[in-house]
Chains A and B, each alone.
Chain A
Amino acid sequence: MTVLQLSERWKSLSKHSKNVILLFVIFTVLLVLSNVRSSIDTTVKDFFNLLKQSAGLGIIAIGQTLVILTGGIDLCLGSIITFVHVYIIGSMNNDPTMIIPVCLTGIAIGATTGLFNGLGVAKAKIAPFIMTLCSNYILHGLYMIYTKGQPRGILAGSFRMIGRIRVFGYIPVIVIVWVILSILFIFILKRTTFGARVHMIGANARASYLSGVNNDNIIIAVYVISGVLASLAAIILTMDMSAASLNLGADYSMDSIAAAVLGGTLFVGGIGGVEGTVVGSLIIRQITSLLQKANIVNWGKLIVQSVIILGIVALYSRKKKS
């Protein structure tokens, strides 16, 4: 393609697509920078490691993306993760026949929380920030009561084995799940009536309502999806862990917001998508690993992360306030 054709193509892209491409370029640059001194072998290994580290966040951030697209926010994801995690460990009792019921219950926990959030936001018209904040507190209290502060339990061996499966010898289960879910939701958002409604409700809920759409059902659905995806992530993350941790969910609420926002799903509502979130999730985890490589301590991650996010979002919001 000639330069002219390319520039025409570029101009015809939506702002969001431009943002995602920009983000992808930044990701690639970071990738190159971090591997400039390593051999091909290490680079590949590192890349797959990055994928593995990012998968949990990636799955959770999908749900967050959907919620933010409708103009909301989901602050309880971290608690869902921790709750489901300690519940699974606490209830499995090293019994393989319990795997399926326990996992299904875990998903049900996420779904119920999502339903609760969705009803509060859609029917009771409570601001999503507050509603999900409340759920966060409630869940936090509930899992602390459940564990009495000391999470314990034994996972069934076969459950943990699932966590060790490597597809094609390299790729862990969680990455496969992430890829599948990402593709699924990119498709849903771009090509289905449901996806169109998610975008439209965030862009102009009033116009959507006056077009004959039942907004409430869509809103409830996105919170349920968000809850379910968080439970799913918790289950898969748990497969890989030997001991329970009350801190598992700790940063996920905020990180998933950061991943979605980095990926171009800003708080204007209706604009954004999962494809950006995928790259966003990768970048956030990449920052951590970069800092580890550069021997900067944990706290450095926060500083660098915040500067990068702010910088990139500033780039997205490319017009100056008059």
Chain B
Amino acid sequence: MFLELKNITKKFLSITALNNVSISFKKGEVHAIVGENGAGKSTLIKIIAGIYNADNGVIVLDGKEVKIPSPFSASKLGINVVCQEYNLAPNLTVLDNIILGKEPVGKFGRIEKNIARERLEEIINKYALHIDLNKFAADLSAAEAKIAEILKAYISKLEILILDEPTAALTEDDVVSLFRLISILKSRGITIIYISHRLDEVFQICDRVSVLKDGNYIDTFKVSDIDHDSLVKLMVGRELKKLFPASNVEKINQKDFVLSLKNLTDSKNFYDVSFDLHEGEIFGIGGMAGQGQREFIRSLFGAQLLTGGEITFKNNKLAINNPKQAVKNSFAFLSDDRRNEGLALTQSILRNISYPSQDKRANYGVIDKQKDKAVVSKYIQDLSIKITSLYQNVQGLSGGNQQRIVIAKWLLVSPQIMLFHEPTLGIDVGAKQDIYKLLRLFAEQGISIIMVTSDMLELLHMSDRICVFYEGRIQAIISNKEATEEKIMKAASGKSINEK
């Protein structure tokens, strides 16, 4: 074993992210780590990468016990990580970013850019990588950024490369290139730790797979020794029925259409999107990342500009040019970026929840303090949000609690349509269950929900209808009863689901 983690425990306040986890990695293997959102995968690799420090436990690299207190110390040991958040300086070129900290220096302190450029271009040409060294990092596509980061890791000592959801924002072609890159690295003896939600990828390129569940290590298998369904069972470990509340699709289909969308487009990311939404329906939108889902759902809220198409809400044509108009029409939007768009971390829980609907509890602009506190407290109770005081900062709360606060905030505007972008991103498993229950509850009360998600299980089991985006258009809309993971993946790759 090249890398061994022994008895690693990591707690965040009262939540145990990793509980006595021991796991080992062989040299030169591609080793996947799978688990639900909140199982501890991210925490584990951040400990290996030096971003977090474990509370307990030991890390052994190549037979020697090591300490990894910082990302820099990790990279000195040859451990590099490519996260979902980019680790490139946006105002520098790709070349500058790659050689940052290791610039070859010549006379008068001059950076020998040409030498660096030559060496890099050699590598780029050798492996036919699609990357332009002169582009500014801010202009890179997701795929190019990944390649840039891998190159950056490659030219320093690279023994272990950790990839966290590398295909999240990649097109099909990009994924093929990435896989090719991975095999190249593997052939050079580099160990690759691969985290992904996409189990089919795991079966495609990984040698072994380890399962984490609720912060615990379950087991490791050779990919050839296990099948898809068994893996899912180990990951989820509970009856899917219990995790996802049931719904009555027929009843929903009989309800009126509350929202009608025709030919919506932003002329850039999505085109010709049309569908009708029942009252009380949960409409899930999936597909590979970057196919226009993000821009679409944001445009429904006025956070992104629509250039064409019609929105009809309860038989009235609507123009939604900004969030203010959307909120007026009882739309709510829960962004995937909770910290930057959903919450003001330095403000109190009370203010965060009360904010969008505060006019309802104000007379001539003066807020009725008692009413405000009462209403907010009620929702906090109803949603089981654990807080110490209404006046505490939202910053210290867990992901699950923070999401509940965002939900509470939007419930207060009495929405008819709720737009969720990644409803359970960064939320531990216990909280996820509660949020699914809430979603179903809202739907039963007549709220219609449109939900964009990259979590396959969520998409499959929570949606009454599943819509798959491909290259900015709707590739398929599948009813819950007929949906299978295979069909969804097929549609996500642009194939017709009726094809054999």
Which residues in A have some Cβ–Cβ distance to B below 8 Å?
Answer: 12, 14, 191-194, 196, 199-200, 203-204, 206-214, 268-271
Does the CB pair A204–B323 fall under 8 Å?
Answer: no
Give the docked Cα–Cα distance between A196 and B354 (Å).
10
Among B301, B303, B355, B393, the most chain A Cβ lie within 10 Å of the Cβ of: B355
- In the assembled complex, 15 residue pairs joining A and B whose CB atoms fall closer than 8 Å, in A order, are A14-B391, A14-B393, A191-B369, A192-B366, A192-B367, A196-B367, A203-B346, A204-B344, A204-B347, A206-B340, A210-B301, A210-B303, A212-B328, A212-B413, A268-B346
Does the CB pair A192–B346 fall under 8 Å?
Answer: no
Which residues in B have some Cβ–Cβ distance to A below 8 Å?
Answer: 301, 303, 323-324, 326-328, 333, 335, 340-348, 351, 354-356, 358-359, 362, 365-367, 369, 388-389, 391, 393, 409, 413
Give the docked Cα–Cα distance between A269 and B366 (Å).
22
- Apart from A196-B367, A200-B355, A211-B327, 12 more pairs, CB < 8 Å: A14-B393, A192-B362, A196-B351, A199-B347, A200-B351, A203-B347, A204-B347, A210-B303, A210-B341, A211-B356, A212-B356, A270-B347
Choose from A12, A193, A271 the contact partner of B346 (Cβ within 8 Å): A271
Nearest chain A CB to B348 CB, angstrom units:
7
Of chain A, the residue at the smallest CB distance from B388 is A12
Chain A hits for B393, CB < 8 A: 14
Does the CB pair A212–B327 fall under 8 Å?
Answer: yes
Chain A hits for B365, CB < 8 A: 192-194
Give the docked Cα–Cα distance between A302 and B157 (Å).
53
Chain A hits for B391, CB < 8 A: 12, 14
Does the CB pair A196–B343 fall under 8 Å?
Answer: no
Nearest chain B CB to A213 CB, angstrom units:
7
Does the CB pair B323–A211 fall under 8 Å?
Answer: yes
Does the CB pair A212–B326 fall under 8 Å?
Answer: yes
Chain A hits for B369, CB < 8 A: 191
Nearest chain B CB to A264 CB, angstrom units:
13
Does the CB pair A12–B389 fall under 8 Å?
Answer: yes
Among B301, B328, B359, B366, the most chain A Cβ lie within 10 Å of the Cβ of: B366
Nearest chain B CB to A16 CB, angstrom units:
10
Chain B hits for A12, CB < 8 A: 388-389, 391
Classify the interface of chain B: helix, strand, loop or mixed.
mixed
Chain B hits for A270, CB < 8 A: 344, 346-347
User: Assuming the A-B contacts A210-B333, A212-B326, A212-B327, are A14 and B367 also in contact, with contact meaning beta carbons closer than 8 angstroms in the complex?
Assistant: no
Chain A hits for B367, CB < 8 A: 191-193, 196
Give the docked Cα–Cα distance between A192 and B367 (Å).
5
Does the CB pair B324–A214 fall under 8 Å?
Answer: yes
Nearest chain B CB to A15 CB, angstrom units:
8
Chain A hits for B342, CB < 8 A: 207, 210
Of chain A, the residue at the smallest CB distance from B325 is A212
Query: Closest 7 interchain pairs by CB?
Result: A212-B327, A203-B344, A211-B356, A204-B344, A212-B324, A192-B365, A203-B346
User: Assuming the A-B contacts A14-B391, A212-B328, A214-B324, are A193 and B356 also in contact, with contact meaning beta carbons closer than 8 angstroms in the complex?
Assistant: no
Does the CB pair A200–B347 fall under 8 Å?
Answer: yes
User: Assuming the A-B contacts A14-B391, A210-B323, are A196 and B355 also in contact, with contact meaning beta carbons closer than 8 angstroms in the complex?
Assistant: yes
Give the docked Cα–Cα distance between A268 and B413 (Å).
29
Does the CB pair B344–A14 fall under 8 Å?
Answer: no
Choose from B324, B327, B343, B366 the contact partner of A204 (Cβ within 8 Å): B343
Of chain A, the residue at the smallest CB distance from B338 is A207
Chain A hits for B362, CB < 8 A: 192-193
Does the CB pair B359–A193 fall under 8 Å?
Answer: yes
Of chain A, the residue at the smallest CB distance from B331 is A212
Chain B hits for A204, CB < 8 A: 340-341, 343-345, 347
Give the docked Cα–Cα distance between A271 and B351 (Å).
13
Choose from A192, A203, A206 the contact partner of B341 (Cβ within 8 Å): A206
Give the docked Cα–Cα distance between A95 and B291 (Å).
72
Give the docked Cα–Cα distance between A206 and B354 (Å).
16
Chain A hits for B351, CB < 8 A: 196, 199-200
Does the CB pair A200–B324 fall under 8 Å?
Answer: no
Choose from B323, B335, B344, B354 the contact partner of A212 (Cβ within 8 Å): B323
Nearest chain A CB to B351 CB, angstrom units:
6
Does the CB pair B348–A213 fall under 8 Å?
Answer: no
Of chain A, the residue at the smallest CB distance from B303 is A210
Give the docked Cα–Cα distance between A212 and B342 (Å).
12
Give the docked Cα–Cα distance between A203 and B301 (Å).
22
Chain A hits for B366, CB < 8 A: 191-193
Give the docked Cα–Cα distance between A214 and B322 (Å).
9
Nearest chain A CB to B358 CB, angstrom units:
5
Does the CB pair A193–B358 fall under 8 Å?
Answer: yes
Of chain B, the residue at the smallest CB distance from A203 is B344
Chain A hits for B327, CB < 8 A: 211-212
Chain B hits for A210, CB < 8 A: 301, 303, 323, 333, 335, 341-342
Chain A hits for B358, CB < 8 A: 193, 196
Nearest chain B CB to A5 CB, angstrom units:
15
Chain B hits for A200, CB < 8 A: 344, 347, 351, 355
Does the CB pair B355–A208 fall under 8 Å?
Answer: yes
Chain B hits for A194, CB < 8 A: 365
Give the docked Cα–Cα distance between A261 and B333 (Å).
35
Nearest chain A CB to B276 CB, angstrom units:
25
Give the docked Cα–Cα distance between A270 and B351 (Å).
12
Give the docked Cα–Cα distance between A204 and B343 (Å).
8
Give the docked Cα–Cα distance between A213 and B333 (Å).
13
Give the docked Cα–Cα distance between A210 and B327 (Å).
9
